[in-house]
Structure 1
Amino acid sequence: MKKITVIPTWSFCDEAGNQLDLQLLRLLGAVYRRGKLTRAAEDVGISYRHAWNLLRQGGEFFGVPLVELQRGRGAHLSLLGEKLLWAEQRAIARLGPQLESLGSELNLAIQREQQGALSILRLHASHGFAVELLPKYLEALPLDLQYCSPHESLAALNRGGCDVAGFHLPRGKVGEQVRSTYQGLLKPRKHRVIGFIARTQGLIVAAGNPLGIETITSLDASGVRFVNRQASSGTRSLLDCLLKEAGVSSKQIRGFETEEYTHSAVAAYVAAGMADAGFGVEAAAQKFGLDFIPLAIEDYLLVCHQRSLKEARFQAFLDILRGAPFQEAVRKLPGYSPSRCGDIIDVDTLL
C-alpha cells in the first residue's frame, strides 16, 4: 500500500537566488554523530570530496565555517553549524504531530478514492512514542490518527468526533489530582476504558547533568533554565501536580512560560543548549543523547463507547494491542511497557 508522508523542507536562498543543497543538513547531523568527515560522508551516502564541497559551499554562503576540521582531532560543528542542526531538529520535533495528522487525512482520502467505503478507526490522542507505533501495526485497519490533548480527545469522543480517545492517569497520589479532572468526561454507563501502556516521566537534562539537577525542587534554582510543555497537555498536568506536591511555585522557575508541544521538541530544546532542563518521557531524552531523572509513572489509557466493542473493527484493534508483536515494540521504547494492553476496564473501577 502506497502512503504519503509529509515532512518539513528547508530552503536556504540569498538575495541573488543562490540556493544551498539540502543534503548539507544531513551531513551536519552525521558530523555531529560521527565526529569524522569520512564517516559522516559514508552515513549520508556521498563521497568525501562531495562532503568537503558541501561544507565549503555552506561556509561561503553564510560567511563562516559550519564545521571545524583539525588534523588528528576529527570534525566538529562550529557554533553556527550546531544552531542550524538543532533548529532543524526542533522544527521536525515541533511540527511532527501536525504533519502526521495531515498525512493520515491524505492517506485515508486516497484509500477512499481507490477502494470506496472503508471501515475506519478514528483515534484522537496526545502525541507519544507508543501511539506513533499504531499505524504500522494496524495496516489492515485504516486509522485516522489525530493528535490533541487528553481533554480535547475525550470531548471529541463524547460529541461523536472520534471512536477512541487517549488520556493519561499518573500513578500514586499525584494521580488523584489528575483523576478528578476527568469527571464528567468519562461516563461509566456509556464508556469502557482500554488498557494501553505505562511510561516513565521525569526531568530531561543535558548529557552528564552538569548542573547536578536531582529532583523537581532543583528547578527553582536561579541558574536553571527550563522549557515546559503546553498548558493543555497531560504531561503539563502531571508536572503541575508534582510541583504542587513538592511545594514549588512555578513563578520561581526560570522559563516556565516557554512551551513546546511534544516530548521530542522539549528534548531538542535542551539538546540545543537553549534550556538546562525540561519535563517529558525517557524515550525523548535518549533520542537526543540526554540524561533522564525519573519522577513518576503514568498509565496511558484509551476509551471508547461500550457499544463499539461489538464491532469487527474494534475486535481487530484489540487483537493488535494484545498481540506479541506490538507489545514487544512497546518494550523496546526506553521507559515504556505494555500495561493491561487491550484489556477492557470499567470506568467506575478506574475512577
Structure 2
Amino acid sequence: MNDSNGKDPGGTFRVALRPGWWLDGDDADGGIPLKDVLALLAAIDATGNIAGAGRACGLSYRHAWGVLRRFEALFGVPLLVTHRRQGTELTPFAQRLLWANRRIEARLMPMLDSLASELQEELQRLLPEGKPHLRLHASHGFAVEALMQHMQGHAPGLELRYRTASEALAALDAGECDLAGFQVPLGEFEPSMLAHYRPWLHRDDHLLVHLAVRNTGLFVPAGNPKGIHGMADLARPDVRFVNRQTGSSTRLLIELMLRRLDIPVARVQGYENSEFTHMAVAAHIASGMADTGIGVETAAHRFGLDFVALARERYFFALRKDTIEQPAMRALLGVMRGSGYRDFIGQLVGYDASETGKIQTLKEAFG
C-alpha cells in the first residue's frame, strides 16, 4: 500500500491510502509495481488502441509499447490482440488481470479510506490548531463517500469509520460517534428492519437527518443472459449469487425477501460468498464470478450491468438531539443542504436528493 499527502483548501494535510500490486522476484528490489501496466490496460480497454491509451496515460507510443512488452515477458503470455483495421483488444489474461484489479479496488478502497480518515484525525489532534472533528460511522455508500469529498476544507471536518448500520447505531448509543448511518426499505420490510435497529434508536434521545433515497436491486450482466427477474430466481441451480457480508443491512434485507418467498438460504448457490461494498458486488459479477447480487443501482451502472429493481431505501444519519445546535453539526448540515452536494447526489443513477439535509424525529420519519 502507498500513502500520499496533499493540501486541501483549508491548508491542512490530507492522508490517502491506495491499493497497489507488485510482482515479487529474486532479482526485484522490493518488487515490480504493476501500476503503469494496469493503467495502460484500462486505457486500451476504453479507447481500443495503444496510441490513444498512451495519450490518456501521458506516455509516448514507444514507451507504452515498452511497458506492455516488459510485462508480457514477465507474465510469459501476450496481453494484446491486434486486429488489422479493427484496433486492439485485451487478451483473456489481460482482461482477467484488469478485472482482478477492479475487484481489489472495490473491496479495499472503503477500508483504506476509513483507515486514512482515522490516521488523519489522530495526527491532526497533535497539531497546535487541531480541533475536535465530528465522528461519522456508516456503511459504505455513494452519498457518504461524496459527503466526505464535499467536507474537505470545511472546519472542523468529518472523521469517518465504515461500519455496518447496526455497528454504527450501537456506537452512537454508546457515545463513540456523533452520527450513525443506516438505511430502511420503504414498504413491507420497513417494520422488520426498524425492529432490528430498535435497541439503539430512542425517540427521546435521537433525531434523523435525511441523506437520500436510493434504488436497490439485483445486478445482472448486460443483456441479462440468464433471465433473472426477481428473488425467486436465486433458487435456480444455474444461478450463482454473491452476497453482502454478515451483519450488513443489505444481507438482512436479502434474508427478509427470501423468507417471504419461503426460500431457504441453503438453496441459493453462493449465499455464503460475500463482498463488503456495492461496488465489490458489481465487480464480482462483471468479472464473471457470479450471475447476480444485490446492491444500489449506481454500482450496477458504473460496471455496465443491468439492474432489476427490488426496493427503494431511505438512508439516514441518526444523531443525539443535544448535538443538533453545535457549530460543527450546523456546518455539516450546511454542506448537506448546499446546492453542490445536493446536485451531486441528484445526478447519481438511482438516487433522489429532494429531501437531503431534512431533520426529522423518529416519529415523523416512521410514524
Q: Shorter-chain TM-score category?
A: over 0.9
- For residues 279-328 of structure 1, the C-alpha deviation after alignment (integer angstroms, 9 at most, x for no partner) is 10111111111111111100011111110112111111112222221111
Counterpart in the other structure of 2:243 = 228
CA–CA distance in structure 2, aligned partners of residues 69 and 148 of structure 1? 45
Residue type matched to 2:62 in 1?
R
Q: In terms of mean alpha carbon deviation, does 112-121 or 228-237 score higher?
A: 112-121
Aligned match of 2:151 in 120, 133, 138? 138
Counterpart in the other structure of 1:167 = 182
CA contact (8 A) 2:231 2:257 kept: yes
Matching of residue 258 in structure 1 with residue 269 in structure 2: no
CA contact (8 A) 2:125 2:132 kept: no
- Percent identical among aligned pairs is 39
Counterpart in the other structure of 2:196 = 181
CA–CA distance in structure 2, aligned partners of residues 125 and 245 of structure 1? 28
Counterpart in the other structure of 2:314 = 299
CA–CA distance in structure 2, aligned partners of residues 21 and 323 of structure 1? 40
Question: SS of the counterpart of 1:5?
Answer: strand
**TM-score normalised to the size of structure 2?**
0.92
Q: In terms of mean alpha carbon deviation, does 244-253 or 262-271 score higher?
A: 244-253
> How far did residue 272 of structure 1 move?
0.8
Residue type matched to 1:294 in 2?
A
Counterpart in the other structure of 1:49 = 62
Counterpart in the other structure of 2:26 = 15
CA pair 150-247 structure 1, distance change in 2 beyond 3 A? same
> How far did residue 119 of structure 1 move?
3.5
Counterpart in the other structure of 1:285 = 300
Counterpart in the other structure of 2:89 = 76
Q: In terms of mean alpha carbon deviation, does 305-314 or 16-25 score higher?
A: 16-25
CA–CA distance in structure 1, aligned partners of residues 34 and 159 of structure 2? 35
CA–CA distance in structure 2, aligned partners of residues 80 and 15 of structure 1? 24
Matching of residue 200 in structure 1 with residue 211 in structure 2: no
> How far did residue 19 of structure 1 move?
2.9
CA–CA distance in structure 1, aligned partners of residues 186 and 355 of structure 2? 14
Q: May I ask how many residue pairs the two structures share in their alignment?
A: 351
Counterpart in the other structure of 1:190 = 205
Counterpart in the other structure of 1:213 = 228
CA–CA distance in structure 2, aligned partners of residues 22 and 188 of structure 1? 50
> How far did residue 20 of structure 1 move?
5.4
CA–CA distance in structure 2, aligned partners of residues 248 and 35 of structure 1? 44
- For residues 187-209 of structure 1, the C-alpha deviation after alignment (integer angstroms, 9 at most, x for no partner) is 11111111111110001111221
**TM-score normalised to the size of structure 1?**
0.96
Matching of residue 318 in structure 1 with residue 309 in structure 2: no
Matching of residue 92 in structure 1 with residue 110 in structure 2: no
CA contact (8 A) 1:126 1:149 kept: yes
Residue type matched to 1:291 in 2?
D
Aligned match of 1:246 in 261, 264, 278? 261
CA contact (8 A) 1:20 1:58 kept: no
Q: In terms of mean alpha carbon deviation, does 244-253 or 284-293 score higher?
A: 244-253
Residue type matched to 2:36 in 1?
Q
> How far did residue 339 of structure 1 move?
4.9
CA contact (8 A) 1:196 1:339 kept: no
CA contact (8 A) 2:20 2:33 kept: no
